[in-house]
Structure 1
Amino acid sequence: MTDKLVISGLGRSFATDRGETVALAGVDLAVGANEFVTLVGTSGCGKSTLLSIVAGLDVPTAGTVTLDGRPVLGPGRDRGVVFQSYTLLPWLTALGNVEFALREAGRSRAEAREVAGAHLALVGLSDFASAYPAELSGGMKQRVAIARALSYRPDVLLMDEPFGALDALTRHHMQELLTRIWERHRLTVLFITHDVEEAVYLSDRVAVMTNRPGRIKTVVPIDLPRPRHYDMVASPAFQTLHRAVLDEIRAESIVAAGLDGALA
């Protein structure tokens, strides 16, 4: 598999009133073309900081990020970003929010409307094209955000806890929707979640990060068949992978809490 996104020796430090805080140190990770990779780890381990650097919204203090061999030096339309907050423009309709991104990318008005409509259909929201964000549920808003991010055909989709604010049932529906979209269009995805079940269900590989300063502790291949269906969550193979990832995170959380000696 050809490497699409390569993170090498990445570090990020912040100056604070209490001195220097090292968020990331020596992060190495390669994501292949059309691969779905998820980052998991304890709270505060630097997952979101890492994603922000890949998105070009933050600058590393050490190391490099390259996309197709080119250094990432700032934001770009080669990367689509979806956050937990929906970041929709409240004065625009669902269709208008997607059109706005396309117009900013240089598409003509007619082309933007056609492409925006097609992507709302992709996420099942054609009937809500004229609805404003205030008239949409949380899951619908996030579907608009995903449609917007996909509409200008980024090389990489970056997703930071995109389903974290949703109720359990809506979250499951969104996971199934994202899986269907990915299996149909095969784009490169770097995803962040605290939900281990979500990570295993969605991913080709799950990268577990250490406590701060964050680095990649281990990468767990998810060799479950595709297309994925939610009934496989109860299968022994799924549960074995879930336990393997959870054990790695639990080991880090025990160290973070200072309980490693007590539980030895």
Structure 2
Amino acid sequence: MATLTIKNLVKSYPAKKRERNTVLNNIDLTLANNEFVSIVGSSGCGKSTLLSIAAGLEEFDSGDVLVDGNPIQGPGIDRGVVFQSYTLLPWLTARQNIEFALKAAGYNSSESSDRAQQHLELVKLGNAADKWPAELSGGMKQRVAIARALSYRPKILLMDEPFGALDAMTRQQMQQLLLEVWEKHRLTVMFVTHDIEEAVFLSDRIVIMKPGAIDETLDVNLERPRPISITRSDAFAELQQHVYDRISQPLEMV
């Protein structure tokens, strides 16, 4: 599908006690075509800011953010975005929420209707197309949000703690569904999470951040497709412990 390249990225905000508070300092990161990469780190390390910049939702001080070698120019349909909050319009049905996004992206009514239904079926919600958001569970709402993000066929999927508000069982089901969709469509995925087990289960690679910088990049050499039983393996436990130990180390402020 696509390669996402981030070069020498610097992002800062105004601060009271000093001129600028640097939250990302010379970040270099490349997501290869069809790669699933998770970003983990302590709260405030800059992982969500990094994703927002990749989505074109935040400006940055210097550096480059490229999709297939082309600089991003704000948000675009080459990148689908899913947040922790469901961001569904309550006055529209599940299908209409997806159609609304498609029409905004330039698709006509017929194409929007067809794509909306197709992608609801992809996330196993074909029978819930005419339900209102208030009638959907948290997991179902997030499945609609994922269907919406995928409906205009983005090259890259950016996900910021999309399962953080879900209960443990629903979260596990959503992880398995996401892998099923990813393995079918082979998207390039940037996935921000605070859940280490989730990162290991989903990813080809894990980027471990410390405040403002990348501390380590870890390859996840586990079989695919991944059954849920793999989370009980020694190899999985070793990877999980390694990431936990890196995040738990005392960190210096940028």
TM-score using structure 1 length = 0.93
Structure 2 residue 163 is matched with structure 1 residue 138: no
Answer yes or no: is 1:84 the counterpart of 2:81: no
Unaligned runs of 5+ in 1: 258-264
Runs of 4+ aligned residues of structure 1 deviating over 6 Å after TM superposition are none
How big is the shift at 1:17? Answer: 2.5
Q: 1:121 is matched by which residue type in structure 2? A: E
Q: Judging changes above 3 Å, is the alpha-carbon distance between structure 1 residues 142 and 3 closer, same or farther for their aligned structure 2 residues?
A: closer
Give a deviation string over 1:136-192, Cα, whole Å, max 9, x none.
110000000000000000010000000001111110110010011101110000000
Aligned equivalents of 1:215 and 1:77: distance in 2?
28
User: By how many angstroms is 1:110 displaced?
Assistant: 1.2
Match in the other structure for 2:251: 255
**Residue 16 of structure 1, CA deviation:** 2.4
Q: Is structure 2 residue 23 aligned with structure 1 residue 17?
A: no
Aligned to 2:234: 236
Structure 1 residue 256 displacement after superposition:
5.6
Aligned position for 1:209: 209
Once the two structures are overlaid, the 10-residue window that deviates more, 99-108 or 142-151, is 99-108
Q: In 2, distance between residues paired with 1:168 and 1:152?
A: 30
**Letter of the structure 2 residue corresponding to residue 61 of structure 1:** D
- Aligned residue number for residue 29 of structure 1: 29
- Percentage identity across aligned positions? 56
Partner of 2:156: 156
Q: Quick one: distance in 1 between partners of 2:93 and 2:198?
A: 30
Q: Is the 8 A contact 1:39 1:207 kept in 2?
A: yes
| Equivalent residue number for residue 128 of structure 1 | 128
Q: Using the alignment, how far apart are the partners of 1:179 and 1:194 within structure 2?
A: 18
Name the structure 1 match of 2:6: 7
| Contact 1:11 1:61 (C-alpha < 8 Å) held by counterparts | yes
Letter of the structure 1 residue corresponding to residue 6 of structure 2: I
Amino acid at match of 1:195: D
Question: Could you tell me how far apart the structure 2 residues matched to 1:69 and 1:165 are?
Answer: 35
Instruction: Note closer, same or farther for the CA distance 1:97–1:3 as it changes in structure 2 (3 Å cut).
Output: closer
Cα RMSD (Å) of the superposition?
A: 1.3
Structure 1 letter corresponding to 2:189: V
Q: Which consecutive residues of structure 2, in runs of 5 or more, have no partner in the other structure? A: none
Deviation at 1:73, TM superposition (A): 2.6
Query: Who is 1:262 aligned against?
Result: none
Contact persistence 2:2–2:34 (CA under 8 A): no
